[in-house]
């Protein structure tokens, strides 16, 4: 199906979203349903990210943003949080070479100050290493919360006003202070696992995004699932408040 969708997009049969954002939900549940520790599900989920990243360019997607760890996820058990951070470190270390070779530019959004210094250093290094790549823009949200991002952006904007850099701030000025400054807004937001909440993910950026909620748990979400969702997206009429 993925190949068929790519061919359809190339022939103009449907329009692909330029930017897809995904709330990758259901890793722990996937593992528990099989009698395994929750971290097994998170490791499977990380493997799934690689497959989806590789599929996106052929499906016409230029920007992919994934929700890896929210500001609320610190409430989970210490064992799970530490395990997740270890998975993030391993993912970045192992994928750095592949990402660079495949033309993927990797960036991170979210507050970094609470993250382990080694993880922060790895994030900065892979951002620098892949900065010139253009085949796919991959953004990973770690320790990200939309309200937290807006609060931090408002503080930055207030500092600019106090310094006299901006006299009458507007939407564009606030947007320039967001973690995603310079990124296009998502056209489509997908949430896996059957939940129908936005969970504090990109509230500013996704104001006019289309949403798709799928019951498929993230470790089971294949490029074929993504291709089918993109096909449905191509049938939607987006009016952005117009008629």
Spot the catalytic one: 25, 179, 187, 231: 25
DSSP letter, residue 112: -
54 is in an annotated binding site: no
Specify whether the CB–CB gap between 163 and 90 falls below 8 A. Answer: no
Greatest C-alpha distance within the chain:
59
94 is in an annotated binding site: no
210 is in an annotated binding site: yes
Dist CA 217 CA 240 (whole Å): 30
77 is in an annotated binding site: no
25 is catalytic: yes
143 is catalytic: no
191 is in an annotated binding site: yes
Dist CA 209 CA 195 (whole Å): 17
130 is in an annotated binding site: no
232 is in an annotated binding site: no
Dist CA 142 CA 229 (whole Å): 25
100 is in an annotated binding site: no
Mutual angle of helices 2-10 and 223-233, in 10-degree steps: 40
102 is in an annotated binding site: no
Spot the catalytic one: 62, 73, 133, 200: 73
Dist CA 91 CA 111 (whole Å): 19
71 is in an annotated binding site: yes
26 is in an annotated binding site: yes
Specify whether the CB–CB gap between 162 and 187 falls below 8 A. Answer: no
Dist CA 158 CA 33 (whole Å): 48
Active-site amino acid positions: 25, 73
Feature table: binding site for substrate? 26-30, 38, 42, 70-72, 74, 76, 191, 197-199
Mark the binding-site residues for Mg(2+), compressed into ranges. 25, 210
- Residues annotated within the binding site are 25-30, 38, 42, 70-72, 74, 76, 191, 197-199, 210
């Amino acid at each position: 199906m993925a190949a068929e969708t790519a061919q359809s997009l190339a022939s103009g049969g449907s329009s692909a979203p330029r930017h897809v954002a995904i709330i990758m939900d259901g890793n722990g549940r996937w593992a528990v349903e099989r009698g395994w520790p929750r971290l097994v599900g998170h490791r499977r989920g990380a493997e799934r990210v690689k497959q989806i990243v590789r599929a996106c360019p052929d499906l016409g997607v230029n920007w992919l943003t994934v929700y890896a760890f929210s500001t609320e996820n610190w409430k989970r058990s210490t064992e799970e949080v530490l395990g997740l951070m270890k998975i993030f470190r391993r993912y970045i270390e192992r994928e750095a070479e592949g990402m660079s070779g495949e033309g993927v530019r990797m960036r991170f959004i979210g507050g970094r100050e609470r993250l382990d210094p080694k993880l922060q250093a790895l994030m900065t290094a892979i951002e620098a290493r892949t900065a010139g790549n253009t085949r796919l823009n991959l953004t990973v949200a770690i320790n990200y919360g939309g309200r937290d991002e807006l609060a931090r952006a408002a503080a930055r904007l207030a500092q600019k006003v106090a310094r006299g850099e901006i006299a009458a701030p507007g939407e564009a000025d606030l947007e320039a202070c967001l973690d995603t400054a310079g990124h296009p807004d998502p056209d489509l937001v997908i949430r896996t696992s059957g939940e129908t909440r936005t969970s504090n993910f990109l509230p500013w950026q996704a104001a006019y995004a289309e949403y798709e909620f799928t019951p498929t748990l993230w470790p089971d979400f294949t490029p074929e699932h993504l291709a089918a969702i993109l096909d449905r997206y191509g049938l939607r009429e987006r009016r952005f408040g117009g008629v």
